[in-house]
Amino acid sequence: MKVCLLGLGYVGLPTAVVLANNGMYVHGVDTNPLLIEKINAGEFTSTEPDLDLSVLSAVKSGNLEVSQSPVSAEVFIVAVPTPVLPDKSGADLSSVEVACKSLAGHLKSGNLIILESTVPVGTIDLMAEWISDVRPDLGFSNASENPLKSDRIYLAHCPERVFPGRIMYELLENDRTVGGIDVQSAQRASEFYSSFVNGKITLTNARTAELSKLVENAYRDVNIAFANEISIICDDLNVDVWDLIDLVNQHPRVQVLSPGAGVGGHCVAVDPWFIVASAPDRSKLVRTSREVNDSKPNYVIQSIRSIAGNSEKLVIACLGITFKPDVEDLRGSPALYIVETLAEEANYEILVVEPNLTELPEPLSQLSNIRLVGLPQALEQAKLLVLLVNHQLFYSIDQKQLVGKSIIDTCGVWRDTPTRCL
């Protein structure tokens, strides 16, 4: 089977590799020429477990090659970015539209198109329109609106459910939801995924599949927002939030999540806005949860400023800037936002400890008052320690080294030391 996969990002490239290493010929497409060069040369590197070696294996086998242009195939997979618009009014679907129009010229009767990107409800219908604009000769599999068209293609949505740090495993083992623009499309897509997925595959219609992914992440966002709001209330009332959560979770039907510095990543912090945009008058809880989680980083910043006061050139160590523990991923990171905001304060000297990076991202790397350092240096020099991401490294700190320092712990790592828990 020949597969053309458009978008070699966090989901697309691992998917291409899994397919190639399961015996399919995969032609990957991306707009980044440097990425294409590295993959084809077998020089791609990643901290995602097993990904770089799997890429090398797929390229060496001849089953994976990549370029900037699509080619003819039996199956087309679209896994391009769908970021939220700056005003949170919906998703930027421009990359999906470009992908549809670029592959349309290569379509033949019987081809299957699968969208894996997370999208608002109704996007599969838009894809059908964009493809039809370029290829009016093609219809979709049941195409009841124009039964005279003899050339049929199949169109379905299968949202990804992978977790950074476990992507290569979860692509194979997780259950999948497949929604077709019609029943035939869902069945064809299910047959495709059944060839390499060990998890259960459930069929539905496209609109339900689109909403299912959004609801999964909105559910997580609502529960995190509850924990973050409780953490702020505890801070106001001088109550240790971690002790409180331990006590509350002794109830057999209660499971409060852990608070943090906010919510980041490309899913949980983004997808709920697609629901709000689709049903603004009906999504009050979803909207409020997003606002609570988006406000948490600013609360942490205010707490840092209240401790720092007017100290000149105060040395602050910020521990962690990725969006979750033990990955290199900075997308939507609340910790990164906190550090960037603090770096604008000329009277602070900021030491960043991030064990998953070898250099600071721009624009931080251009600032004179911020440095990427090792943990020993940060513990020695900083007067204020701010724990933003609970990387495994930080659990190994001897808490005797924290004596005499001001501490803000957003992750509950240093519970045996007097800290301000946020």
Catalytic residue list: 213, 267
Dihedral (CA of 260, 262, 265, 270) sign: positive
Q: What would the two tokens of residue 385 be?
A: 């320690």
The 3-state secondary structure of 116-156, one letter per residue: CCCCCCCHHHHHHHHHHHHCCCCEECCCCCCCCCCCEEEEE
Those residues whose C-beta lies under 8 Å from the C-beta of residue 9, and which sit 6 or more positions away, are 30, 79, 80, 81
Q: Do 284 and 275 meet the contact criterion of CB atoms below 8 Å apart? A: no
Separation CA 98–CA 78 (nearest Å): 10
Phi then psi for residue 417, to 5 deg, are: -120, 140
Measured from the Cβ of residue 258, the count of other Cβ atoms closer than 10 Å reads 15
Q: Do 76 and 114 meet the contact criterion of CB atoms below 8 Å apart? A: yes
Give me the amino acid identity at 88: K
Exposed, middle or buried: residue 396 (CB in 10 Å: 0-12, 13-18, 19+)? Answer: exposed
Query: Three-state SS for 226?
Result: helix
Beta bridge partners of 345: none
